[in-house]
Amino acid sequence: MSRSVVYTSSPLLASRTPAWRSKFIVAVIALGFVGLVARAAYIQVFANQFFQKQGEVRFARTLELASNRGRILDRNGLILASSVPVPSIWASPEDLDRDPVKIAQLAKLLEMPLSELNKKLENESKSFVWLKRQVDNSVALEVAALKLDGVYKRTEYKRQYPEGEAAAHVVGFTNIEDKGQEGIELAFNKDLSGHNGSRRIIKDRLGRAVEDVGEKILPVDGPDLQLSIDSKVQSFAYQKLRDAVQVNKAKAGSVVVLDAITGEVLALANYPSYSPAKRVHMSGEQLRNRALTDTFEPGSVIKPFTVGLALDTGRVTPQSLIDTGSGKFNMSGSTISDSHPNGVLTVEGVIQKSSNIGTTKIAMQMPAREMWELFSNAGFGQKPEISFPGAVSGRLRPYKTWRPIEQATMSYGYGLSASLFQIARSYTVFTNDGQIIPATMLKSSEPAVGAQVLSARTAAQVRKMLQMAAGPGGTGQKAQTIGYSVGGKSGTAIKQAGKGYGVAGNRKYRGWFVGMAPIDKPRIIVAVMIDEPTAGQYYGGAVAAPVFSEVVQQTLRMMNVAPDMAVKPQIVANAEAESL
């Protein structure tokens, strides 16, 4: 039988418990409660933001809602650049299902080495990593079909450029982040960019969105931008330039078409070019916007300004006689030459025959300061005020440093430098009654307001001389068009090679032509440059003037300008006419 225990008589219960022990136990319990209260206060009051942030990191996500970049339109509303939605693939490594078979399939679909994909996914503490951006819709559907947890699709926008190579140097392009990198995309990046929206969500333990938190911020699309460019003129000018470069086996070429009344740029093209949407293996030669960035000695296209100044100041008249002698003229120990002996010429004849000697003799009647002021007022030596990246100022030295021989060479375009764009704009002096007008890449319906450089009478006189230069007996006969009167000036320059111009037989040339049409009331200015032609001809009147002719005729037709000539010109250019 078990022995019964009488607890009341147990010696253990009968023993006296120390008072401190019960107090200690109560104190420990009280201290525990105080600790819990302190911890609760710390979590809910003092460190509340920290713990909320940690909770959000684990269960909350902010999803960016992409905005659509504004379109770039030509003057007629045709699209030059637009954004289209495309899927991009991203992953959350911390939520990823690391099934090796599915991972290998994912790498194959994304066309990337498995090692590269694993490297992107190796940091399991990350909540976001791009796997591949801007993939085809078919690829995105196949990725979704894998049903791989932790791999998601996000809609982004990719730029498309319908005009391709023809308008590449105007429009430019954006990077993968949809930020402008070149051309109009860069110049007007802030204007075109929209504002992304956002959506805050709570995830469950499987990574699924279960609840929206807070207010959704909707994206704001960027506004459209309308340019002065006419895409049809741009495309035609590019094609004719490309053909000329290839036929003449040239290094490169550029063409600029300006509205002579508003200063709008109707076309600006360069060759070689590139495809803005496919920039694989793109070189600097393709990327360079030569019409704005490349400078060269303008040569004979400066002569109308020198003669215009002499006419404006009353030093000569169009019929004043200038003796150019046998084609050689010695000045300060240097010889100035004409391509052919011209004897005595009128001032009109100096421009028509493009006489260096005649221009020099006219220039030396004027102070260097007056010539410098005229060139400067015509935009030389100054950066064009145009909303476009890469435009350069060229070079025009202060007149105080000019020696007499330098003043002479500058009168016919040597000793200063300018871009083709600057040259094209400078000729607005002759199309706008002596005023130079600002050029713009944006559409404008109002006539431009310019600054007076020469008198209206002088501008008209020079236009007549330019018509003679592009007509029978002139240096630019190949600039003639069917139905429209034209005027312009050719130019040819030997390219500098080191400190000199190379030796005969091994020289490199640049030929160009700049002019206007119709001649009485000019509507357009066209400037063409062919760099290093090597197919046998290199004079501007031979390699650049034909491009001018085709571009002028097509552009005026597109602009619905009525022909001002009823008779088709029958011009047969001879070797002498192609001299400059």
Residues 36-75 have pLDDT tens digits of 888 888 777 777 777 777 666 666 667 677 788 999 999 9
Task: Spell 421-433 as b/e; 16+ CB within 10 A means b.
Answer: bbbbbbbbbbbbe
Residues 6+ apart with CB under 8 A from 308: 374, 429, 430, 454, 458, 459, 461, 462
The closest alpha carbon to 424, from 474, 379, 369, 373, belongs to 379
User: Does 578 score more than 50 pLDDT?
Assistant: no
Q: pLDDT band for position 565 (50/70/90)?
A: confident
| Residue labelled with tokens 């206007």 | 516
Domain ranges for the chain: 62-115+131-226, 231-274+289-558
Eight-state DSSP code of residue 181: E
Task: Spell 479-510 as b/e; 16+ CB within 10 A means b.
Answer: bbbebbbbbbbbbbbbeeeeeeeeeeeeebbb
pLDDT digit string (tens) for 394-438?
A: 999 999 999 999 999 999 999 999 999 999 999 999 999 999 999
pLDDT digit string (tens) for 338-351?
A: 888 999 999 999 99
| Sign of the dihedral defined by the CA atoms of residues 101, 107, 108, 113, in that order | negative
Q: What is the mean pLDDT of the chain?
A: 87
Peptide bond into 276 cis (omega under 30): no
CB 251 within 8 A of CB 289: no
CATH tag, 62-115+131-226: 3.90.1310.10
User: Does 506 score more than 90 pLDDT?
Assistant: no
Residue percentage of the chain with pLDDT more than 70: 88
User: Does 204 score more than 80 pLDDT?
Assistant: no
User: Does 80 score more than 90 pLDDT?
Assistant: yes
* 62-115+131-226 and 231-274+289-558 agree in CATH topology: no
Residue percentage of the chain with pLDDT more than 90: 54
pLDDT digit string (tens) for 135-191?
A: 989 999 998 898 888 888 888 888 999 999 999 999 999 988 889 999 999 999 999
What are the tokens at 113? Answer: 């080495």
User: Does 576 score more than 50 pLDDT?
Assistant: no
Q: Which of 67, 300, 417, 549 is catalytic?
A: 300
User: Does 89 score more than 80 pLDDT?
Assistant: yes
Fold of 231-274+289-558: Beta-lactamase (3.40.710)
As a whole number of angstroms, the distance between CA 256 and CA 265 comes to 7
Q: pLDDT band for position 577 (50/70/90)?
A: very low
As a whole number of angstroms, the distance between CA 515 and CA 481 comes to 12
Residue 59: per-residue pLDDT: 67
pLDDT digit string (tens) for 367-387?
A: 999 999 999 999 999 999 888
Provide the 10 A C-beta neighbour count for residue 99.
Answer: 13
As a whole number of angstroms, the distance between CA 478 and CA 495 comes to 23
Catalytic residue at 4?
no
Q: pLDDT band for position 209 (50/70/90)?
A: low
Q: Which contiguous run of DSSP H or E holds residue 171? A: helix 168-171
